[in-house]
């Protein structure tokens, strides 16, 4: 029990205070404490939060989510959930103790070691989205993996926050030994003569930049790029799941090993509160918003029904958890607790 009376009775005299301060000063001057400079300014904690990567397993497959950093969108609407009533959207955020003036999204790339391959699913934003992202490569190297050791890269879709890390500042491929895989529909859409952006709700110049970047990056890897179709396996245990709408050829991946599975939902669902609570809410980045919403409901329904472990590219790091079906067609994100024993 806490004895409040005793605490009240403790009165620090001026002399006591000086004595305590003096002792602290002496301790700071000892060699192991960093010397007198440390006494003047205590060191600030440094380094990447949690190391920037999270290791886990899917059956016999070794897995790791590598954070590329995070993106912040201000204001939230109309980029996100433009169809939502402002009061309802803000009410949901407030009840989750989140700010209402901005929406923060993480950027979670997935690495898998399985079947003799080292697979990277999406590559982060590289230099395309500013200084808060583009950290994937240094964090991957901090985890002991060099870019030339990656043998397979899967792109879930051709948006810059997913392919930007493929080229370095000089425009050279970062992953010199990798074979690439992306959906045939996606490659055809972005490299075709006249991509249909009529339902996209971002400014025209931004859409043109998205297109120019997609074409540049696809051209840079095209000699080693294999188009894939939904239902096919990229390697044993990594199956392509059709998930169109956010982009026409957007794919999810079902990773299976032994009795375990992981559904990499990629950009099927961006926000852990808003889009789980209202799967019909869309984003201005969706090439086909109604189709994206339909896919979101299907994928969330599949995860909830089959109790599948899910990974979301933009969910709070490391973005692994389960989906619970709620009343009225809503869903709830149940993040998996951080497991120190898993890596």
Which residue, 73 or 324, has its beta carbon nearer to Zn ion?
73
Strands in 100-200 per DSSP E: 103-114, 117-121, 152-154, 179-183
Chain positions 208 to 237 lying near Zn ion, rule: CB under 5 A, are none
CA dihedral 337, 339, 342, 343 (to 10 degrees): 120
Give one DSSP letter per residue of 219-283, joined into a string.
Answer: HHHGGGEEEE-TT-EEETTEEEEE--SSSTT-EEEEEEETTEEEEEEETS---TTHHHH-TT--B
Task: Go through the chain and tell me how many residues it has.
Answer: 343
- The arrangement of strands across the sheet holding 117-121 comes to 53-58, 61-73, 103-114, 117-121, 152-154, 179-183, 225-228
H or E stretch covering 289: helix 289-305
Shortest reach from residue 161's CB to Zn ion, in Å: 4
The window from 79-87, 126-134, 153-161, 235-243 that contacts Zn ion (CB under 5 A) reads 153-161
For the bound state, the minimum distance from the C-beta of residue 106 to Zn ion, rounded and expressed in Å, comes to 10
Cβ proximity to Zn ion, 256 vs 295, nearer residue: 295
For residue 68, state whether it binds Zn ion (rule: CB under 5 A): no
239 vs 267, beta carbon nearer Zn ion: 267
Separation CA 66–CA 69 (nearest Å): 9
Helix (H, G, I), strand (E, B) or coil at 342: helix
- CA torsion, ordered 309, 312, 318, 324, to nearest 10 deg: -40
Nearest distance in Å: CB 285, Zn ion: 8
How many residues of this chain interact with Zn ion, rule: CB under 5 A? 2
| Nearer to Zn ion (CB atom), residue 61 or residue 299 | 299
Which of 186, 239, 267, 286 is in the footprint of Zn ion by CB under 5 A? 267
Residue among 237 and 312 whose Cβ is closer to Zn ion: 312
For Zn ion, give the closer residue by CB, 139 or 157.
157
Measured from the CB of residue 214, what is the shortest distance to Zn ion in angstroms? 13
Q: Counting beta carbons within 10 angstroms of the beta carbon of residue 136, is it exposed (0 to 12), middle (13 to 18) or buried (19 or more)?
A: buried
Three-class SS state of 171: coil
**Least distance to Zn ion from the beta carbon of 246, Å?**
8
Q: Which is nearer to Zn ion, 128 or 273 (CB)?
A: 128
Please, which residues have CB within 8 angstroms of residue 276's CB and are 6 or more apart in sequence?
269, 300, 323, 330, 331, 332, 333
Which three-class secondary structure state does DSSP give residue 72?
strand
Is the CB of 123 or the CB of 257 nearer to Zn ion?
A: 123
Whether the link from the prior residue into 187 is cis, omega within 30° of 0, is no
161 to 180: interface string for Zn ion, x by CB under 5 A: x-------------------
Least separation in angstroms between CB 151 and Zn ion: 24
User: Residue 273 Cβ, how far from Zn ion at the closest point, in Å?
Assistant: 17
Binding part of the chain for Zn ion, among 46-54, 77-85, 237-245, 265-273 by CB under 5 A, reads 265-273
Per-residue binding letters, 177-196, with Zn ion (x by CB under 5 A): --------------------
Minimum distance of Zn ion from residue 255's CB (angstroms): 19
Which positions touch Zn ion (CB under 5 A)? 161, 267
């Amino acid at each position: 029990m806490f004895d409040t009376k005793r605490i009240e009775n403790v009165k620090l005299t001026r002399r006591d205070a000086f004595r305590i301060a003096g002792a602290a000063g002496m301790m700071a001057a000892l060699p192991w404490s960093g010397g007198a400079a440390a006494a003047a300014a205590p060191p600030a904690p440094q380094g990447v939060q949690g190391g920037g990567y999270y290791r886990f397993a899917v059956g016999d497959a070794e897995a790791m989510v590598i954070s590329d950093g995070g993106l912040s969108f201000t204001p939230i609407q109309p980029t996100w959930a433009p169809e939502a009533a402002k009061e309802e959207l803000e009410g949901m955020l407030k009840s989750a103790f989140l700010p209402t003036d901005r929406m923060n999204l993480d950027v979670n790339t997935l690495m898998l070691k399985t079947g003799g391959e080292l697979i990277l699913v999406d590559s982060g934003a590289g230099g395309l989205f500013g200084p808060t992202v583009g950290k994937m490569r240094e964090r991957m190297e901090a985890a002991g993996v060099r870019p030339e050791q990656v043998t397979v890269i899967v792109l879930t879709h051709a948006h810059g926050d997913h392919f930007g890390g493929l080229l370095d500042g000089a425009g050279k491929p970062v992953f010199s030994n990798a074979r690439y895989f992306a959906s045939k529909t996606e490659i055809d859409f972005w490299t075709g003569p006249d991509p249909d952006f009529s339902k996209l709700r971002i400014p025209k110049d931004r859409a043109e930049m998205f297109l120019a970047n997609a074409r540049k990056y696809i051209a840079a890897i095209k000699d080693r790029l294999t188009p894939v179709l939904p239902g096919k396996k990229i390697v044993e245990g990594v199956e392509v799941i059709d998930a169109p709408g956010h982009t026409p050829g957007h794919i999810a991946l079902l990773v299976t090993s032994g009795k375990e599975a992981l559904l990499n939902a990629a950009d099927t669902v961006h926000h852990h509160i808003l889009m789980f609570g209202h799967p019909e809410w869309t984003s201005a980045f969706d090439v086909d918003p109604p189709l994206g919403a339909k896919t979101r409901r299907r994928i969330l329904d599949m995860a909830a029904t089959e109790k599948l472990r899910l990974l979301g590219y933009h969910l709070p790091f490391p973005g692994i958890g389960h989906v619970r079906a709620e009343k009225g067609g809503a869903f709830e994100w149940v993040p998996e607790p951080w497991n120190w024993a898993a890596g």
